[in-house]
Amino acid sequence: MNSYYGLNIQRDEKEDQHSRQLVDKWIFITLMAVLILVPLLIGSHVSNVISPLISDNSLLSSGLRGDMYTYYKYVTLITLTIVAFLLFLYKMFILGYKLPMRIILYFFVVFSIAVLISTMFSPNKTIALFGQYNRADGAYSYLCYIILMFIAMNIEYPKKVLEYVLYAFYPVVFLNFVLIMMNFTGHDVLSYRFYQKIMTMFDPKGVTFGAGSYELGTFSHGNYISGMFSIMTIMFLSWAVIDKNIIRRFINVFVALLSMATLLMGTSNSGFFTFLCMTPFIIWLAIRSSNKKLAIISLVVFLILSASTLNILALKKPIVWDESVGMFIKHNPYMGNPAKQTSLKSSSGLQPSIIVEHKVYAADNKFILPVLPKSAWTAGTGRIYIWKEALKLVAERPFFGYGLDTILYHFPDFNIEARANLSEATIVDKTHSLYVGVIYGTGIVGMIGFLGILIIIGWTALKEILRFKPTSGFIVPLCMAWITYLIQALFNDSVLGVTSSFFTIGGVLLAVLYKKKEIGIKEIQFNKNII
């Protein structure tokens, strides 16, 4: 018996349960659409950008701006999140679903409130709300991530949910491998007019791609490709190592090899470093596999083929060596002077010039010009310097930050020190770290909520990996993927196609593990009572 507006209405609990299962089915379909579509969708879109700064620098000035990697991902993410949220509200308020109280919900609330407050008090409120036109990494996106994770951990799933989630990433691997391979071999897909027409079909007439435009994949930058495909490599390789299905085992060795090739062609050492960090866990899974011999053979075959792939790619472009093995072996056997090489970083090709402020100092009736440091990149392609300066900014607004995705308008690009750390042609428009980006955008309060979410899921996933048994099934590859995501996020920013996927997966992992009681529902309820 339930009361609605003062009326006692007899409810059939079995009928409500059946209805909840039907709603969960549609929510699951929506979540799968997020996993499949958001990482893949690309297409040209022209926006009228209103900059909060007056500048003659193209990155900082207002005007029409084109982007191919963000708009359709963003619209799809917002749309699917609204659909899932409305379905979940119907399930909770109409069908009587009772929300389990778990510790992670407190961190959801803290982070969400911090995002809202940081946006309200941001010096650049519109940017903080929507994000930059070519990144869309503002408050709306982060709230979508949190909502998707929250919903994903509170629905019932079909028996083969983990298989479906893993299969959802096959298209991402295959499409990105084809696109980046075409670019790598000098047959970039944007050189074909029919493809350009497809990409601009929804844009105003007269929109064209500029000379030198190219497409690396469905992600806008080599760093993002490297980070994403370090995750894909680990996920499919770990699946291949523990799988009992022999045919699927070798299919996944092949998919992992394609992912590794894509990682290497992204020419960013962050992905390769992340892969190396996760290699001991792969070995651990192979040792504990039900068929150790076949698991070790699968791993050895992958490593041999990966080494051969590295050799073939480095013969074509020696920078592949520098951005992988070259982190540890400085001598490049494929090219004598690696300093002359260029990497595939972004599809725009824009490298705006810095305006160096001219200062003079009076001393003994003479004007002395300061000595400019040599233009150069420092550690981590300038990352260490960016993080240091970003944290200095956080110290000025420590509690709720500047608003997400607004660092373009606050970073001290024109300081003389920037020339010695970032090269003279760089404007910093992102933090190059998910964690630094969050603490810069939402301050200490937001960071506490954000880290609380990541630590709970990360620790849960790590325990599942360390106590792996042959009966653990498909959950282990997704746990490996989540830990890999957390590591690569040290060096890469939040990106729509990546963050939306893995926050959704994080919710799925918790839901499945809570269901199986493998992390102890009683323990969670006990902790809730203490709080």
pLDDT digits (tens, 9 = 90+) for 256-294: 999 999 999 999 999 999 999 999 999 999 999 989 999
Average pLDDT of 134-158? 96
Q: Where are the alpha helices (DSSP H) in 266-291?
A: 269-288
With respect to residue 234, please indicate whether it lies within any of the assigned structural domains: no
Indicate if the pLDDT at residue 356 is higher than 70. Answer: no
Which residue did the predictor score with more confidence, 50 or 261? Answer: 261
What pLDDT was estimated at residue 66? 84
- Least confident span in 80-89, 152-161, 333-342, 362-371: 362-371
What pLDDT was estimated at residue 378? 55
Torsional class of 63: left (φ above 0), alpha (ψ -120 to 50), beta (otherwise)? left
Q: How confident is residue 57, by pLDDT bands cut at 50, 70 and 90?
A: confident
Strands 45-49 and 63-67: what pairing?
A: antiparallel
With respect to residue 283, please indicate whether it lies within any of the assigned structural domains: no
The whole domain housing 526 covers: 14-221+346-530
What pLDDT was estimated at residue 12? 74
With respect to residue 519, please indicate whether it lies within any of the assigned structural domains: yes
What pLDDT was estimated at residue 58? 72
Q: How confident is residue 427, by pLDDT bands cut at 50, 70 and 90?
A: confident
What pLDDT was estimated at residue 357? 35
- Count of domains in the chain? 1
**Percentage of the chain exceeding pLDDT 70:** 84
What pLDDT was estimated at residue 361? 36
Indicate if the pLDDT at residue 374 is higher than 70. Answer: no
Q: Distance between CA atoms of 54 and 48, rounded to whole angstroms?
A: 15
The model's pLDDT over 398-424, given as tens digits with 9 standing for 90+, comes to 999 999 999 999 988 766 565 555 655
What are the tokens at 411?
């970073």
The model's pLDDT over 65-124, given as tens digits with 9 standing for 90+, comes to 888 999 999 999 999 999 999 999 999 999 989 999 899 999 999 999 999 999 999 999
Maximum CA extent, the chain: 94
**Backbone torsions φ then ψ of 415, nearest 5 degrees:** -70, 145
Average pLDDT of 305-332? 94
What are the tokens at 203?
């844009």
The model's pLDDT over 475-488, given as tens digits with 9 standing for 90+, comes to 999 999 999 999 99
With respect to residue 461, please indicate whether it lies within any of the assigned structural domains: yes
* CB 133, CB 49: distance < 8 Å: yes
With respect to residue 263, please indicate whether it lies within any of the assigned structural domains: no
* CB 484, CB 232: distance < 8 Å: no
Q: What is the mean pLDDT of the chain?
A: 86
What is each CA distance from 276 to 242, 260, 283, 444, in whole angstroms? 19, 12, 11, 31
With respect to residue 18, please indicate whether it lies within any of the assigned structural domains: yes
